[in-house]
Amino acid sequence: MALNDLDLTCRIGSAVLQNPVLTASGTFGYGQEYESFVNLHRLGAVVVKGISLAPRRGNPPPRVVETACGMLNAIGLENVGVERFLAEKLPYLRGMRATVIVNILGDSVEEYAALAGRLDEVAGLAAIEVNISCPNVKKGGVAFGTDPEMAAAVTQAVKGATRLPVIVKLSPNVTDVALMARAVEDAGADAVSLINTLLGMAIDSRTRRPRLANVVGGLSGPAIKPIALRMVWQVAKAVKIPVIGIGGIATAEDALEFLIAGASAIEVGTANFVNPRACEEILAGIGAYLEANKMTSLRELVGSLAI
């Protein structure tokens, strides 16, 4: 069977992605950074670096540090802001015929809604991914993603401001991730993606100082995969909307585990830093697995976990 006889498509609200391999926000720049390594139009979607209304400077350095089988980052959501993104970054992605998902962030419900409204006016976007792992400045800096009511409020505001499919990206820094997933599903989310990074820390015992200037940062990479997989499995059982699995995916084998656990698609993050061709290799590996197992559609694999 030829690869193009395989149905690798997956549906996110009204959007149909050609395959389930997406890039994770913040690990793939605005796409152009990887043009020497990846055919951007072959990916399920390019999820761009998180965008806010105004440009953000981000945190002081050091911003990244390696830990066992992973890394901590405290980039501080540095980005060019929505207007420069639309003027300077999006035209390139369009020119490459890439499927584009814009990841958005804000520090108030109103900012999220304003961003969604701005993106609604823009042609050629596939979906919006809402990063809710950000502090709500008006509510004392508690992250939207750790409170079901705040997460639902953001979801509702974004849905109300755009016709684009809305993916809500869940934080793992909660006790019951399925509860959060249901809250945003009820508020109208078309899909959920998880996990964002786990809050972590590293200390230099020689100087007794934190290794990140921000003291704490987000843990990503292979180290978080078992946690991410467990959370995806729990959420997939709890909601009816599609689930996008993220966390430590570096190989096709990793991706297959998430699909079997119930993810309809996956995002590749930290692995892009290590192997800039990871996304296309994972895509090829998924295709080969389906063929070897005589499946004609990705949907046969999704959620096929045998317990």
Partner 1 sequence: MPPYQLKAQIIRAETLAPDLYRLTFLAPDLAAEAKPGQFVMLRVGEGADPLLRRPFSIHQVTASGWVQVLIKVVGKGTRLLATLALGQTVDVVGPLGNRFSLHTSHHICLVGGGVGIAPLYFLARELQRSNPPAAVVPLLGARTAAELRPLADDFVALGLTPRLATDDGTLGHHGLVIAHLSELMATPAPWIVYCCGPYPMMRAVAKICREQGWACQVSLETMMACGLAACLGCAVPAADLAGPYKHVCKDGPVFGAEEVAWL
Ligand X SMILES: Cc1cc2nc3c(=O)[nH]c(=O)nc-3n(C[C@H](O)[C@H](O)[C@H](O)COP(=O)(O)O)c2cc1C
Catalytic residues: 134
CA distance 127 to 200: 30
User: If contact means CB under 5 to 8 A according to the sort of partner, which of ligand X, partner 1, none does residue 148 touch?
Assistant: none
Helix/strand/coil (H, E, C) string of 115-165?
A: HHHHHHCCCCCCEEEEECCCEEHHHCCEEHHHCHHHHHHHHHHHHHHCCCC
Q: Which is nearer to partner 1, 64 or 122 (CB)?
A: 64
The count of other CB atoms within 10 Å of the CB of residue 240 is 7
Return d(Cα 42, Cα 63) in angstroms, integer.
31
87 binds, among partner 1, ligand X, none (CB under 5 to 8 A by kind): none
Q: Does 24 bind ligand X (CB under 6 A)?
A: yes
For the CB of residue 296, give the shortest distance to ligand X in the complex, in Å. Answer: 28
Nearer to ligand X, 49 or 211 (CB): 49
Residue 60 touches which of partner 1, ligand X, none (Cβ within 5-8 Å per kind): partner 1
Pairing relationship of beta strands 15-17 and 243-246 according to DSSP bridges: unpaired
Binding partner of residue 197 among ligand X, partner 1, none, CB cut-off 5 to 8 Å per kind: ligand X
Residue 41, SS3?
Answer: helix
Judged by DSSP in three states, 16 sits in strand
Q: 18: buried, middle or exposed (CB in 10 Å: 19+, 13-18, 0-12)?
A: middle
Report the sign of the C-alpha dihedral through residues 294, 251, 11, 264, in that order. positive
Contact between 222 and partner 1 by CB under 8 A: the answer reads: yes
Which residue of this chain has its Cβ atom nearest to ligand X in the complex?
Answer: 26
- Which C-beta is closer to partner 1: that of 165 or that of 221? 221
How many amino acids of this chain bind partner 1 (CB under 8 A)? 38
If one asks whether residue 197 binds ligand X (CB under 6 A), the answer comes out as: yes
Exactly one of 247, 258, 264, 279 binds ligand X (CB under 6 A); which one? 247
Nearer to ligand X, 181 or 246 (CB): 246
**CA–CA distance, 220 with 12 (Å, rounded to integer):** 25
Which residues bind to ligand X, rule: CB under 6 A? 24-27, 49-50, 73, 75, 77, 103, 131, 169, 196-197, 220-221, 224, 246-249, 269-271
Which residues form the interface with partner 1 (CB under 8 A)?
Answer: 26-29, 33-37, 49, 55, 57-66, 68-71, 73, 75, 78, 221-223, 250, 270, 272-274, 276-277
